[in-house]
Chain A
């Protein structure tokens, strides 16, 4: 048969996205299907680029720290903390111990609400909407706690360069204790509802497999890597804030659930166990919280002048609910940083979709895609626009551009 006969042959190409009801955020998928089974998959992110780094390079670090809150709606503390830690290293600012503890408490509260949000989304992707509403009702308590401590439900604005902007008062301590005991009482029920359920087990056990080796090769981070048995956690490997004083171990699916197998079910286990871990960490912080200042420098004009003089480069690393988040900042003695680069955790995790989805059925795609808790708004940092249209660059073109830039710079 020659090409002009219109007979279609396998594999069929099924495009999904960039905007699609099954996807929470824009990303373009191209599936090569053979019947119901996915043979291969490709994806193209880059549709939610907002130019936040560009905005940042025209502002001083005290302004940027509140821009970072807006990179992601869920992990506000993560991005601002990671940026603040990078700037603190450059300007050699020492954060008071009490501020470190408050940062840790908020960081863990955020992890709890993010994991509960994910649990709800995962249930929704399975078509289990009553569980979605249960998970999100339970999540409200952590949102209320965050609201009480910071003043707002999202975009907390709590982290400042050199500390935090609000103290935890003695009146707020019983509220936190109450919230923690609420979750302690609910955790067993959540585990039963999620892990004992036949529907969830049927849909998740053995689906979306990511082997230990693939997780390492593709540099997966966070719960995605830990569910595949990779024992990595920035809080343990490279302690920051108060984590050095606390007992934090990477959560890996325990033997009672069959050990790490790297499927969607394991990712649910890891996230549920991390909620328990977060409760424990907040309790430890509450018990050992030192007294003292919460800001390195209370007078903002002085802080601004110190930051203006700062020179150097640094990376701030933080374990976000989705995995490791990194902010690279270079300052050269100006008001605004010379470079600011954000590497969100989802950026490292997206590639693990390819081995996960291969060989699965079309109907399993939503839950597998959701299982790494992708956050496209965090990830999309670059959009290439050339002569008015978005274009993909090949490796050769990139090399050529890089060489041209070197030549251009060496000439001037």
Chain B
């Protein structure tokens, strides 16, 4: 006897909402780049992404004022994404190299490094202003 238990499940699926969150647009625009350009111009709105979990590790933030230049963060950074600038005794973080482990946040004695919930970071230029935190 042929048994196909999946058939009932498939029929039930017809009456359920899709599990996928349609991001960035609810329907595929003719041109995604044009759509994103329009979003930047304020002419179109994006369908919001799924909310981030608590204590999500996104793009790093750096409080330049409270930093004391101890360089401890550089010792634990697995990706060597942190550069020390001797002239100002401060650090520069390359976000394109960062692996978002947030270990520098844990070791910082002055608590001046934090992870923000920001995650839409893709650009074409790895040295763009948005990709360097200092």
Please give the residue numbers on chain A whose beta carbons come within 8 Å of chain B beta carbons, in ascending order: 59-60, 62-64, 66-67, 69-70, 128, 130-131, 134, 137, 140, 144, 147-148, 151-152, 155, 157, 165-166, 189, 192-193, 196-199, 300-301, 304
CB distance from B3 to the nearest CB of A (A): 5
How many CB-defined contacts (below 8 Å) exist between A and B?
74
Q: Kindly list chain B residues whose C-beta atoms are within 8 Å of the C-beta of A301.
A: 72, 107
Q: Kindly list chain B residues whose C-beta atoms are within 8 Å of the C-beta of A59.
A: 78
Q: Kindly list chain A residues whose C-beta atoms are within 8 Å of the C-beta of B77.
A: 63
Contact with A along B37-56 (1 / 0, CB 8 A): 00000000000000001111
A199 to B100, CA, bound (A): 44
Closest to A137 in B: B19
A139 to B89, CA, bound (A): 47
Q: Kindly list chain B residues whose C-beta atoms are within 8 Å of the C-beta of A70.
A: 99
Contact A193–B5 (Cβ < 8 Å): yes
CB distance from B4 to the nearest CB of A (A): 6
Contact B57–A157 (Cβ < 8 Å): yes
| Cross-interface CB contact of B55 among A62, A137, A166, cutoff 8 Å | A166
Q: Kindly list chain A residues whose C-beta atoms are within 8 Å of the C-beta of B72.
A: 300-301
Q: Is the interface of A mostly helix, strand, loop or mixed?
A: helix
| Cross-interface CB contact of B10 among A60, A66, A130, cutoff 8 Å | A130
A-B contact pairs, 25 of them (CB 8 A): A60-B75, A60-B76, A63-B76, A66-B78, A66-B99, A66-B101, A67-B78, A128-B6, A130-B10, A131-B6, A137-B19, A147-B53, A148-B54, A151-B55, A151-B56, A152-B57, A157-B102, A165-B106, A198-B4, A199-B4, A300-B76, A300-B103, A301-B72, A301-B107, A304-B75
Contact with A along B101-126 (1 / 0, CB 8 A): 11100110000000000000000000
Q: Kindly list chain A residues whose C-beta atoms are within 8 Å of the C-beta of B103.
A: 62-63, 66, 157, 300
Q: Which residues B60-84 have CB closer than 8 A to chain A?
A: 72, 75-78
Given known A-B contacts A165-B106, A300-B106, A63 and B78 have beta carbons under 8 A apart: yes
Listed residue (A63, A70, A128, A130) with the most chain B CB atoms within 10 angstroms of its CB:
A63
Contact A196–B106 (Cβ < 8 Å): no
- Top 5 A-B residue pairs of the complex, sorted by shortest distance between their CB atoms: A63-B78, A300-B107, A66-B101, A157-B101, A66-B78
A67 to B77, CA, bound (A): 10
A189 to B10, CA, bound (A): 13
A171 to B6, CA, bound (A): 36
Please give the residue numbers on chain B whose beta carbons come within 8 Å of chain A beta carbons, in ascending order: 1-6, 9-10, 19, 53-57, 72, 75-78, 99-103, 106-107
A69 to B107, CA, bound (A): 19
Q: Kindly list chain A residues whose C-beta atoms are within 8 Å of the C-beta of B2.
A: 198
Q: Kindly list chain A residues whose C-beta atoms are within 8 Å of the C-beta of B101.
A: 66, 69, 155, 157
Q: Kindly list chain A residues whose C-beta atoms are within 8 Å of the C-beta of B55.
A: 151, 166
| Cross-interface CB contact of A155 among B10, B19, B100, B106, cutoff 8 Å | B100
A156 to B5, CA, bound (A): 36
Contact B19–A196 (Cβ < 8 Å): no
CB distance from B22 to the nearest CB of A (A): 15
CB distance from A86 to the nearest CB of B (A): 17
A69 to B57, CA, bound (A): 15
A327 to B2, CA, bound (A): 47
Contact B99–A152 (Cβ < 8 Å): no
Q: Kindly list chain A residues whose C-beta atoms are within 8 Å of the C-beta of B106.
A: 165, 300
CB distance from A66 to the nearest CB of B (A): 4
Contact A152–B56 (Cβ < 8 Å): yes
Contact B53–A148 (Cβ < 8 Å): yes
Q: Kindly list chain B residues whose C-beta atoms are within 8 Å of the C-beta of A130.
A: 6, 10
A130 to B78, CA, bound (A): 40
A189 to B1, CA, bound (A): 20
Closest to A166 in B: B55
Q: Kindly list chain A residues whose C-beta atoms are within 8 Å of the C-beta of B4.
A: 197-199
CB distance from B16 to the nearest CB of A (A): 10
A49 to B78, CA, bound (A): 19
Listed residue (B2, B5, B10, B102) with the most chain A CB atoms within 10 angstroms of its CB:
B5
Closest to A299 in B: B107
